[in-house]
């Protein structure tokens, strides 16, 4: 391990700041005092934050959670399209009916999507992109649906079985 | 999420992921590239590594400490960060490694409901450099023993850093 003095000999302060963050070397008691003071500062900072900044933070949180869920290998049946849509509406502090009007969708249709009784249409997804001013692009919403679809196909073969009678001819071999 | 090859200007995709037990073995053997800290002391903590998408070599390490609302702080602390030796000085192989990791910490802060707030405890002579490099704001929380206080990124600063490094 290199000593701080050696690091300071080799690198300029700018280079150090661009490549290293050092651990706090305070005693537990000193650190506790510091964190207590910071906690007060943090509370004040939060109270001073504008409503817009708070909303941006809430929406960014939702967007990052969606992105990570899409990127993960795991499927969670609670995290379906309607769940994320409901979160989006709630974070905007809107009622479902009000939101349905804003994107020109029948409130009953919106409710069915949120409650997983109906799949969203492409039009709805495009309108979500427009409503969010492209902060939640259509592709993001489609990827949630795609993940749901992939899980359904893996775990519910009946979807395929039901279609068998419609296929009159098929390949005679498999790879 | 990309870093840059300063020689060619080429953007290279990177991945930031939790460091696994095997990584700590590699790091402790790789004393030339990771010489500033004893990372083994942090292996039970929340440590992330940055690597190129196409390569397993670790280019940077970062330890985060979570201060949830019940602890009264509601923010993430970057407890420790180290960019590998070859990426630090003039002639470095990759630039933007630390920026990506700090932006990742900001993203984690948003995800955990801390509104993007991230802080670090600086050495006094580095305060202006953390500020100019990453937009950290110095908050001089004067305690009897240490005058350097804390540096923080709030919602706006964190969002700017995410847009710069993770978009």
Distance CA B44, CA A14 (A): 30
- Rounded to the nearest 10 degrees, the angle between the axes of helix A51-71 and helix A138-155 is 40
DSSP codes of every residue in A161-172: HTTGGG-----S
Q: What is the pLDDT of residues A139-174, one digit of tens each?
A: 999 999 999 988 888 888 887 888 888 999 999 998
| % residues pLDDT > 90 (chain A) | 63
Residues of A near B (CB-CB distance < 8 A)? 1-2, 7, 10-11, 13-24, 26, 30, 33-39, 41-43, 45-46, 49, 53-54, 56-57, 60-61, 64-65, 68
Contact at CB, B73 and A38, closer than 8 angstroms: yes
Tokens describing residue B47: 């440590």
Mean pLDDT of B60-67: 96
Triad B127, B154, B104: Cα angle to 5°: 85
Asked whether A82 and A113 are in contact (CB, 8 A), the reply is yes
Q: What is the pLDDT of residues B81-126, one digit of tens each?
A: 999 999 998 888 999 999 999 999 999 999 999 999 999 999 888 9
Triad A3, A9, A13: Cα angle to 5°: 100
Domains of chain B: 2-166 (3.40.630.30)
Asked whether B33 and B46 are in contact (CB, 8 A), the reply is no
Cα distance from B50 to chain A (closest Cα, Å)?
Answer: 13
Q: What is the pLDDT of residues A2-29, one digit of tens each?
A: 777 788 888 899 999 999 999 988 888 8
Alpha carbon separation from A132 to A57, A63, A126, B12 (Å, rounded): 14, 11, 10, 30
Nearest to A45 among B36, B113, B154 (CB): B154
What pLDDT score does B147 carry?
A: 61
Which DSSP state fits A175?
-
Mean pLDDT of A116-137: 96
- What value does the mean pLDDT of chain B take? 91
What pLDDT score does B143 carry?
A: 62
Mean pLDDT of A81-103: 97
Tokens describing residue A100: 């349905």
Nearest to B145 among A2, A30, A38 (CB): A30
Residue A66 clears pLDDT 90, i.e. is over it? yes
Q: What is the pLDDT of residues B118-154, one digit of tens each?
A: 999 998 889 999 999 999 999 887 666 556 788 999 9
Q: Which residues sit opposite B77 in a β-bridge?
A: B65, B119
What pLDDT score does B108 carry?
A: 97
Distance CA A171, CA A25 (A): 70
What pLDDT score does A36 carry?
A: 87
Which range (A71-75, A90-94, A114-118, B67-71) has the least confidence?
B67-71
What pLDDT score does B32 carry?
A: 84
Nearest to A20 among B82, B125, B162 (CB): B82
Taking CA–CA distances from A12, the nearest residue in chain B reads B89
Taking CA–CA distances from B118, the nearest residue in chain A reads A42
pTM of the predicted model as reported, rounded to 2 decimal places = 0.90
A21 contacts in B (CB within 8 Å)?
Answer: 62, 78-82, 120
Residue A75 clears pLDDT 70, i.e. is over it? yes
Residue B80 clears pLDDT 70, i.e. is over it? yes
Distance CA B1, CA B49 (A): 14
Number of neighbours of residue B76 by Cβ within 10 angstroms: 27
What pLDDT score does B146 carry?
A: 59
Cα distance from A14 to chain B (closest Cα, Å)?
Answer: 6
Cα distance from A137 to chain B (closest Cα, Å)?
Answer: 14
What pLDDT score does A173 carry?
A: 92
| ipTM reported for the complex, 2 dp | 0.92
Contact at CB, B83 and A20, closer than 8 angstroms: yes
């Amino acid at each position: 391990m290199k000593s701080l003095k050696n690091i300071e000999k080799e690198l300029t302060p700018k280079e150090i700041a661009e490549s290293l963050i050092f651990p706090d070397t305070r005693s537990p008691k000193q650190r506790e005092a510091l964190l207590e003071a910071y906690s007060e500062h943090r509370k004040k900072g939060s109270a001073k934050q504008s409503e817009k900044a708070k909303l941006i933070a809430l929406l960014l949180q939702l967007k990052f959670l969606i992105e990570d869920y899409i990127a993960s290998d795991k499927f969670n049946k609670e995290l379906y399209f309607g769940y994320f849509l409901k979160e989006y509406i709630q974070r905007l502090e809107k009622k479902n009916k009000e939101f349905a009007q804003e994107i020109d969708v029948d409130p009953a249709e919106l409710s069915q999507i949120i409650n997983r009784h109906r799949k969203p249409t492409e039009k709805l997804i495009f309108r979500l992109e427009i409503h969010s001013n492209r902060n939640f692009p259509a592709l993001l919403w489609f990827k949630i649906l795609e993940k749901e679809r992939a899980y359904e196909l893996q775990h519910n073969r009946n979807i395929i079985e039901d279609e068998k009678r419609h296929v009159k001819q098929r390949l005679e071999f498999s790879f | 999420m990309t870093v840059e090859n300063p020689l060619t200007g080429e953007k290279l995709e990177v991945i930031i992921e939790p460091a696994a037990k095997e990584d700590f073995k590699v790091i402790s053997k790789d004393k030339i590239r990771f010489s500033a800290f004893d990372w083994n002391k942090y292996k039970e903590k929340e440590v992330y590594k940055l690597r190129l998408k196409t390569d397993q070599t670790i280019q940077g390490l970062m330890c985060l400490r979570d201060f949830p609302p019940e602890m009264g702080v509601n923010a993430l602390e970057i407890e420790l960060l180290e960019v590998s030796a070859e990426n630090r000085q003039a002639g470095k192989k990759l630039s933007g490694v630390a920026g990506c990791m700090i932006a990742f910490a900001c993203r984690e802060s948003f995800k955990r409901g801390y509104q993007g707030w991230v802080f670090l405890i600086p050495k006094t002579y580095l305060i202006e450099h953390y500020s100019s490099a990453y937009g950290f704001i110095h908050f001089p929380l004067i305690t009897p023993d240490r005058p350097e206080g804390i540096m923080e990124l709030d919602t706006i600063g964190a969002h700017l850093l995410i847009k710069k490094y993770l978009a």
